[in-house]
Amino acid sequence: MAKNLLIVESPAKAKTIEKILGEDFEVKSCYGHIRDLEKDDMGIDVNNNYHPRYMVPEDKEKVVKELKTLAKKSNEVWLASDEDREGESISWHLAEVLGLDPATTKRIVFHEITAPAIKKAVDTPRRINMDLVNAQQARRVLDRLVGFELSPVLWRKIGMQRSLSAGRVQSVAVRLIVEREREINQFTPESSYKVEALFAAKDINGKSVSFKADGPAKLNSQETAQQFLESCKGATYAVADVQVKPAKRTPAAPFTTSTLQQEASRKLGYGVAKTMLLAQKLYESGQITYMRTDSVNLSDTAMGDINNEINQSYGKQYYQSRRYKNKNESAQEAHEAIRPTYMNQHTVDDADTRRLYELIWKRTIASQMSDAEFEKTIAKISISTNKDQLTATGEVMKFDGFLKVYLEGKDEEDEEDTEGILPPLTVQQQLEFREMTATQKFTRPQPRYTEASLVKKLEELGIGRPSTYAPTISTIIKRNYVEKRDKEGVKRDVSILRLSKSGEVEKEVIQENTGAEKSKMFPTDLGMVVTDFLKQHFQKVMDYGFTARIEQEFDEIADGKLKWANMIDSFYKPFHSNIEVTLETAERAKGERELGIDAATGKKVIARMGRYGPMVQIGHADDEEKPRFAKLKSTQSIETISLDEAMELFKLPRNLGLFEGSEVTVNIGRFGPYAAHDKKFYSLNKEMDPYSVTLEEVAPMIEEKRKAKDERTIKVFEKEKIQVLRGPYGPYIKQGLRNYKLTKEQQEKAADLTIEEVKAIIEELKANPPKKVARKKKS
DNA sequence: CAGTGAGCGAGCTTCCGCTTGACTT
pLDDT above 80 for A316: yes
pLDDT above 90 for A716: no
Q: Rounded mean pLDDT of A430-452?
A: 96
> Mean pLDDT score of chain A, rounded to an integer?
91
Whole-number Å distance between alpha carbons of A582 and A656: 49
Looking up residue A422, the CATH number of its domain turns out to be 2.70.20.10
Residue environment code for A80-104, b if the CB has 16+ CB neighbours within 10 A, otherwise e:
bbbbbbbbbbbbbbbbebbebebee
Measure A459 CA to B23 C1' (Å).
33
Helix pair A272-284, A451-460: axis angle to 10 deg:
80
Summarised one tens digit per residue, pLDDT across range A329-376 is 778 788 999 999 999 999 999 998 999 999 999 999 999 999 999 999
pLDDT at A779: 28
Same domain as A684, residue A696: yes
Per the structure, the count of domains in chain A is 6
Looking up residue A36, the CATH number of its domain turns out to be 3.40.50.140
Same domain as A348, residue A493: no
pLDDT above 50 for A774: no
The answer to whether residue A459 is domain-embedded is no
pLDDT at A418: 61
Question: In 3D, which of A222, A223, A225 has the Cα closest to residue A388?
Answer: A225
The answer to whether residue A80 is domain-embedded is yes
Same domain as A661, residue A639: no
Summarised one tens digit per residue, pLDDT across range A249-294 is 999 999 999 999 999 999 999 999 999 999 999 999 999 999 999 9
Whole-number Å distance between alpha carbons of A524 and A545: 24
Same domain as A66, residue A113: yes
Question: In 3D, which of A240, A441, A268, A273 has the Cα closest to residue A363?
Answer: A268
Proximity of residue A148 CB to strand B below 7 A:
yes
pLDDT above 60 for A415: no
The answer to whether residue A687 is domain-embedded is yes
In one-letter notation, the amino acid at residue A312 is Q
Same domain as A706, residue A602: no
Q: What positions of strand B are covered by protein, i.e. any atom < 7 Å from a CB?
A: 1-7, 11-21, 24-25
Residues 306-335 of A with CB under 7 A from strand B: 332
Residue that is last in its domain, among A470, A498, A518: A518
pLDDT above 60 for A507: yes
Q: Rounded mean pLDDT of A375-403?
A: 95
Whole-number Å distance between alpha carbons of A164 and A158: 9
Proximity of residue A58 CB to strand B below 7 A:
no
Proximity of residue A679 CB to strand B below 7 A:
no
Same domain as A11, residue A63: yes
Closest nucleotide relative to residue A683's CA, C1' based: B2
Proximity of residue A13 CB to strand B below 7 A:
yes
The answer to whether residue A329 is domain-embedded is yes
Closest residue, CA to C1' of B13: A163
The answer to whether residue A145 is domain-embedded is no
Proximity of residue A142 CB to strand B below 7 A:
no
Proximity of residue A400 CB to strand B below 7 A:
no
Measure A774 CA to B21 C1' (Å).
16
Proximity of residue A681 CB to strand B below 7 A:
yes
* Percent of chain A's residues with pLDDT above 90: 71
Same domain as A658, residue A645: no
Residues 112-141 of A with CB under 7 A from strand B: 139-140
Whole-number Å distance between alpha carbons of A580 and A456: 35
pLDDT above 70 for A427: yes
Q: Tell me if residue A373 falls in helix, strand or coil.
A: strand
Query: What residues of A are labeled active site?
Result: 290
Q: Which one is predicted more confidently, A41 or A739?
A: A41
Q: Rounded mean pLDDT of A394-410?
A: 93
pLDDT at A776: 33
Same domain as A116, residue A28: yes
Same domain as A352, residue A300: yes
User: What residues contact residue A68 under an 8 Å CB cut-off, 6+ apart?
Assistant: A97, A98
Gyration radius of chain A over CA positions:
34
Same domain as A632, residue A702: no
Q: Rounded mean pLDDT of A728-741?
A: 75
Q: Rounded mean pLDDT of A674-699?
A: 85
Residue A484 CA to chain centroid, in angstroms?
8
The answer to whether residue A596 is domain-embedded is yes
Same domain as A437, residue A382: yes
Handedness of CA A743, A746, A747, A748 (dihedral sign): positive
Residue that is last in its domain, among A518, A542, A566: A518
Question: In 3D, which of A349, A341, A222, A365 has the Cα closest to residue A290?
Answer: A341
pLDDT above 90 for A613: no
Closest residue, CA to C1' of B23: A774
Residues 736-765 of A with CB under 7 A from strand B: 736-737
Summarised one tens digit per residue, pLDDT across range A183-205 is 999 999 999 999 999 999 998 88
The answer to whether residue A133 is domain-embedded is no
The domain containing residue A697 runs over which residues?
A: 654-713
Proximity of residue A52 CB to strand B below 7 A:
no
Closest nucleotide relative to residue A10's CA, C1' based: B19
pLDDT at A659: 87
Q: Which one is predicted more confidently, A614 or A455?
A: A455
pLDDT above 60 for A777: no
Measure A772 CA to B23 C1' (Å).
12
- Integer CA distances (angstroms), A623 to A534, A605, A614, A619, A627, in order: 32, 13, 21, 7, 7
Q: Rounded mean pLDDT of A516-534?
A: 95
Handedness of CA A446, A450, A453, A457 (dihedral sign): positive
Same domain as A393, residue A246: yes
Q: A102: pLDDT confidence band, cut at 50, 70 and 90? A: confident
pLDDT above 70 for A652: yes
Whole-number Å distance between alpha carbons of A496 and A248: 35
Q: A778: pLDDT confidence band, cut at 50, 70 and 90? A: very low
The answer to whether residue A197 is domain-embedded is yes
Looking up residue A349, the CATH number of its domain turns out to be 1.10.290.10
pLDDT at A258: 97
Helix pair A257-268, A272-284: axis angle to 10 deg:
110
Residue that is last in its domain, among A625, A650, A675: A650
Q: Tell me if residue A81 falls in helix, strand or coil.
A: coil
Summarised one tens digit per residue, pLDDT across range A6-49 is 999 999 999 999 999 999 999 999 999 999 999 999 999 999 99
pLDDT at A633: 84
